[in-house]
Amino acid sequence: MKVNIVSTKLIKPCSPTPQSLRNHKISFMDNLNPPMNVGVILLYDNSISPKYPKQTTTHFQESLSKILPQFYPLAGRYIKKDHSVDCDDSGAEFVEAQVADDVTLSDVILASERDLKLLNDYFLPPKFHQVDESPTDPLLSIRITRFKCGGLVVSVSVSHRIFDASSVGTFLAVWSNANKNPGMVGSIKIRPSFDTPPEFFSGSYISRGDPIKTCWDPNIVVKRFSFHKEAITRLRSKLRLPENSRVRVVSAVIAEAMIGVDRAKHSGKSRACLIAQAVNMRGRTFPPLPKHSCQNWVILSPTRCMIPNTVVGNNNNNNIQELVDILGDGLEKTVYDCAEIFSPTGRDVKSIIMEPLVNVRGKSMGGEVNVFAFSDWSKFGFYEADFGWGKPVGAGIGAFSRPNIIVLMDSKENGGLEAWVHLNRSDMPYFEKNDQIKLYAT
């Protein structure tokens, strides 16, 4: 497939950012993130009776300009030495591209079902894995790619210094609504918030520790595994509590497979493992953070577990039940910690945030423990983003530059889940051969 860049320009907010908001300080939580981008790729079929056939690149640019005043840090530039964003309205990068040959959107969906590389190579901004190269680098990059068949791909890439996946979901909801209903931008009910409690600016900024590799590693492969609604229902029926969330039961199946991969690599012996769940803090603090608070509001929930060597990989539902319980207990403890964050008698904010992070990083670097992480993006509405042609017919993510990461998303079908699994290339065959993966995932 050949994709040509048609144009690249900067889109500025339709109205200037007030001087009082010019300097946007990032919190110590934002500073903990490695220099990387968060990316989402949405695929649309505009070939059959498009409702808004005259929507052009200019239309996308105008709607983006109209909403950028609400997302004013995204049009600014990061000042590394000050740990802040200069909200100078320099603008967001907007790239227009065209698929040059007769490859169709359906071809791309079929080819990318099990390998994320195609989506990343052709539809993300070229510098997705190159961060902090210049102080003039945009914090937000948009890419619109058109197919001759009428299909369209919209990709969004945002610096992880200021946004997490939930924030990207808020941005997409506002932008897609503004693009679909250009005369009703002011009536959109979602109101992004960039207010940060003072507790998150106290003291000195915390070092990230050892540098984290952010460029793309060709030894990593990322594949999608779909868990349909019916498969999740069957899985729930075999557990003690069928009301367990779909995210938890799917995570348990994947965790069992990840433990099996580690066992296969270590002569049939399972190491102790540490499962890290990324927990959205919004709605879990007291008082609650706004649902559409836009920055990094994520805390890690690390849980140590050990599955006996004799049962791993034997299609044993007891493993799944045990992992469901373990993941639930870990999440319950972290939710309790979140509720303490703003309590005057609770623990220090930084200790609540930092202790699990230091634990996970230390175990990961030590190599004696099998460490893998889950990030749940299933409630961020990516499959709901309608720019005027209906909902996406497919979706993908910007791949992470490290293995042993699993990102969960809603699927196109109601009630299903998609899991983007990051593994070393040599490990993926072990994962795919797992009995539970073959039984419940497609």
User: Hey, which residues are catalytic here?
Assistant: 160, 386
- Cis amide linkage into residue 287, ω under 30° from 0: yes
The alpha carbon of 98 is separated from its chain's Cα centroid by a whole number of angstroms, namely: 26
C-alpha–C-alpha distance, residues 270 and 227, integer Å: 26
- CB within 8 Å of 162: residues ≥ 6 apart: 24, 26, 30, 73, 74, 78, 85, 139, 294, 295, 296
Paired residues of 396 in beta bridges? 41
Spell 418-430 as b/e; 16+ CB within 10 A means b: bbbbbbeeebbeb
Query: Is the distance from CB of 22 to CB of 90 less than 8 angstroms?
Result: no
- CB within 8 Å of 337: residues ≥ 6 apart: 299, 347, 352
Given phi > 0 = left and psi -120 to 50 = alpha, else beta, which region is 403?
beta
Return the closest-CA partner of residue 442 out of 423, 422, 416, 424: 416
C-alpha–C-alpha distance, residues 375 and 437, integer Å: 19
CA distances in angstroms from 226 to 167, 411, 412, listed in the order given? 24, 8, 10
H or E element at residue 31: helix 28-32
C-alpha–C-alpha distance, residues 47 and 55, integer Å: 13
C-alpha–C-alpha distance, residues 203 and 206, integer Å: 9
